[in-house]
Structure 1
Amino acid sequence: MPPHDTAHDGADRHHRHGHGPDAHAPSLAGATLHRPRRTLRVGVGGPVGSGKTTLVGSLCALLRDRLSMVVVTNDIFTSEDADALRAAAVLASDRIVAVETGCCPHTAIRDDIAANLDAVERLEALHRDGRGVDVTLVESGGDNLTAIFSRGLVDVQIFVLDTAGGDDVPRKGGPGVAMADLLVVNKVDLAPHVGADVDRMLSDARSRRGDGPVLATSLVDRSGAQAVADWVTEQVAARVGSLPVDG
């Protein structure tokens, strides 16, 4: 698991109420900013086109009947990823919020997390009635191999690679590959068409990550994300078991 980023956390606390959710988000006026301690916040990062939005949508569809979920998406100038999730009806529309970062994606998830943190806290507060929110997924805008989330924003993070992006990428490593709590090598179905060696990718990834888990996925249909959904479920169970639930 990546080391706790105390420097960034201090900056996060300083800025956390500087900005609200963007104009495309559902109205959250009047929501009490209180985080249910049982909520697990999961960051989903990776390069452009690696399949982050498809993975988030598949996780929602697979887990929504068992877990209370909300999603915050990041794009620089649009709400396109949130719109795609709403159109796919993976969750109720008011459980999906878009943040237009207006800056490099890694800045909004690591360096100045104010907009994302406000969106997360307000969305969780809006759905606090009943059992509260079990899982909040925060999808980064597409970025490079150095993009990791601040631990002031998420509890665990998933990093997604595209098999078609080159089978040498896991070997090149970087913080995203080496430090994410789960590495997903996605689109393995494309390997024969792009000359990629999936076994090599997985071997190189495991070499970079030591004991860190690595999963190969093909999201042609939602069932391809089942192993990732199982991992998320395990993280939720560990979270609930280790923290008291607010009454």
Structure 2
Amino acid sequence: MHLDHAVTYPHRHTHSAAPRRADGSRRALRIGLGGPVGSGKTATVAALCRALRAEYSMAVVTNDIYTREDAEFLLREAVLPPERIAAVETGACPHTAIRDDISANLEAVEELEDAFREQAPLDLVLVESGGDNLTATFSRGLVDAQIFVIDVAGGDDIPRKGGPGVTTADLLVVNKTDLAPYVGSDLDRMARDAAEQRAGLPVVFQSLREEDGVHTVARWVRERIAAWVAA
């Protein structure tokens, strides 16, 4: 087997959802969060909701294969009112519902936007993928930007291994840095490998056990919202 050949990954769908509704009003910015099972996607979504809910009108769409466990977690944590959280049961591989057949997710997003259109139009919708592997990417017809979440407990070689989630996401989050001493992960090595794989795209290291541990990611989201509104 030859291992020195160039590796290419399938591109996300190039078509984009229109930034404006039929009446000319601007729709909400849509940000997708993907990553492997247990990497901390739902905890990151919850932390972002707590950090941003006083500043923006926002909602969340979660994806699980056969359950609504992630949505139920967010409801138990009371990060947003129940009517601002929607759950999609994909019934198949999670990346299918965020990359290939996005109809169920797109319907959930649009229903949330319609529900709040009159009282407080949504500024932001977070779409959380079900737990997947390093190939998970979102269709550009569903989201405007993608955050990919990995964790140090999964191994410090993950950034080096790459995959489209690691290499092409608009933001890579290396989560659970507090566990590094206990699982033998080298954070400096992960930072070097991520920088090499991502060719200048941003990388954030975070621990949600720290006070305001989601601060850097929340700031990145704020910047994206500001750019979206100004465009």
Same fold, TM-score > 0.5, yes or no: yes
Structure 2 vs 1, CA of residues 71 and 34 (structure 1 numbering), >3 Å: closer, same or farther? farther
Quick one: structure 1 residues 64 and 35, their matched pair in 2 at CA, closer, same or farther if it must change by over 3 Å? farther
Q: Distance in 1 between matches of 2:134 and 2:150?
A: 9
Which residue of the other structure, out of 130, 136, 148, is the alignment partner of 1:147? 136
Give the structure-2-normalised TM-score.
0.90
Q: 1:201 aligns with which of 190, 195, 203?
A: 190
Measured in 1, the distance between the counterparts of 2:141 and 2:44 equals 23
Aligned to 2:168: 179
Q: Deviation per CA, 1:214-247, whole angstroms, max 9, x where unpaired?
A: 00010115610010000000000000000xxxxx
Cα 1:4–1:78, aligned 2, differ >3 Å: closer, same or farther? closer
1:79 and 1:105, CA in 2 relative to 1: closer, same or farther beyond 3 A? Answer: same
Aligned-pair CA distance for 1:130: 3.8
- The alpha carbon displacement at 1:34 in A equals 7.8
Match of 1:162 among 151, 155, 169: 151
* Distance verdict in 2 for CA 1:3–1:241, change over 3 Å: farther
Instruction: Name structure 1 gaps, 5 residues minimum.
Output: 14-31, 243-247
- Give secondary structure in 1 for the equivalent of 2:125: strand
Whether the aligned pair in 2 keeps the contact of 1:62 and 1:222 (CA below 8 Å) is no
Give structure 2 stretches of 5+ with no counterpart. Answer: 1-9
1:95 aligns with 2:84: yes
Measure, in 2, the Cα distance between the counterparts of 1:69 and 1:129.
Answer: 14
Per-residue CA shift, 1:48-93, capped at 9, x if unaligned? 0000000000000000000111000000000000000011010001
Q: Indicate which of 222, 226, 229 corresponds to 1:233.
A: 222
- Equivalent residue number for residue 68 of structure 2: 79
Percent identical residues:
61
Match in the other structure for 1:5: 13
TM-score normalised by length of structure 1: 0.84
Q: Does 1:67 align with 2:75?
A: no
Pick closer, same or farther for the CA change 1:215–1:124 going to 2, 3 Å.
same
Structure 2 equivalent of residue 21 of structure 1 = none
Q: 1:107 aligns with which of 74, 96, 100?
A: 96
> RMSD over aligned Cα, in angstroms?
2.2
Please state if 1:49 is matched with 2:57.
no
